[in-house]
Amino acid sequence: MSDSEALVLVEHDAYGIQGAVRLTMNRPRAFNALSEAMLDAMERELQRIGESDARVVVIAGEGRAFCAGHDLKEMRQEPALDYYRELFARCSRMMLTIQRMPQPVIARVHGIATAAGCQLVAMCDLAVASDGARFAVSGVNVGLFCATPGVALSRNVSRKAAFEMLVTGDFIDAQTAKERGLVNRVAAPGELDDAIRALASSIAGKPREAVAAGKRLFYRQLETGIESAYALASETMACNMMDEATLEGTQAFIEKRPPRW
């Protein structure tokens, strides 16, 4: 399959940044809907990157939209409970891979991000959106409550804000998404890639081991009580302090010089 036909386009050293990888969902005519093949392709590429020495990942969408969620036409072809169970389990595996991989993952959002597309934004560690982007968990409009997107959404925005989106299916704009915590930054369309480049460059310039350990701890402590969270965080920082890059960084700070990583 050629690059022009691939469901996921892969660009290494993206934005001119060594260690940055950009994955572009490539179903523009279907608004990058998450078909079974797309889910499998994304899972394969994310797993491959997670095992590499990449430092930061950007997920983008080709065409006029970021991602319109699941492929409803494909879903209606086989209306069977076992099929739907496997489909949503497959989607959940892909989403969790984003959180479990050591590299920070940035969503580059333009156009619409709806249903599982909005879930994908929420599962990424960071998100930068065009000021024309719109977000919704709109399954309820066709009678399907966006249950799995709700898991990710409710871990990004407040409970009442998440529930309102889930039961109304209404869109919110990029600035509202930023105010609610769904995205980190909003940029004009012509400045979107510059904003992505600045964020990715900042991450790529940090010690990979420290970032990976920090990401792992960040999500573990969120799902536990505060005492356990502090215990996990203390152990993570103690181990991090023994890393050569950290020892060099702290010594450089003491000596008032740039670190030699």
| Percent of all residues in the chain with a pLDDT value above 90, rounded to a whole number | 79
pLDDT tens for each residue of 191-232 = 999 999 999 999 999 999 999 999 999 999 998 888 888 888
Q: Are 69 and 61 in contact (CB under 8 A)?
A: no
Q: Are 170 and 134 in contact (CB under 8 A)?
A: no
Residue with token string 């939209």:
65
Phi, psi of 52 (to 5 degrees): -100, 180
Residue with token string 């892969």:
10
**Domains of the chain (ranges plus CATH)?**
8-204 (3.90.226.10), 208-254 (1.10.12.10)
For residue 4, the model assigns a pLDDT of 44
DSSP code at position 67: B
Q: Which residues contact 154 (CB under 8 A, 6 or more apart)?
A: 162, 163
DSSP code at position 78: S
Separation of alpha carbons 175 and 134, rounded Å: 9
What is the radius of gyration, based on Cα positions, of the chain? 19
Residues in the chain: 261
Query: Would you place residue 234 in the very low, low, confident or very high pLDDT band (cuts 50, 70, 90)?
Result: confident
Separation of alpha carbons 127 and 123, rounded Å: 9
Q: Are 247 and 255 in contact (CB under 8 A)?
A: no
Separation of alpha carbons 258 and 39, rounded Å: 42
Strand ranges inside the chain, DSSP E: 8-12, 20-25, 56-61, 105-109, 112-114, 126-130, 134-136, 172-173, 185-187
Q: Are 182 and 154 in contact (CB under 8 A)?
A: no
For residue 5, the model assigns a pLDDT of 57
As a whole number of Å, the end-to-end CA separation of the chain is 39
For residue 46, pLDDT beyond 90 = yes
The average pLDDT across 125-141 equals 96
The average pLDDT across 147-154 equals 94
- Predicted model pTM: 0.91
Q: Are 109 and 133 in contact (CB under 8 A)?
A: yes
Report residue 113 as tokens.
Answer: 């991000």
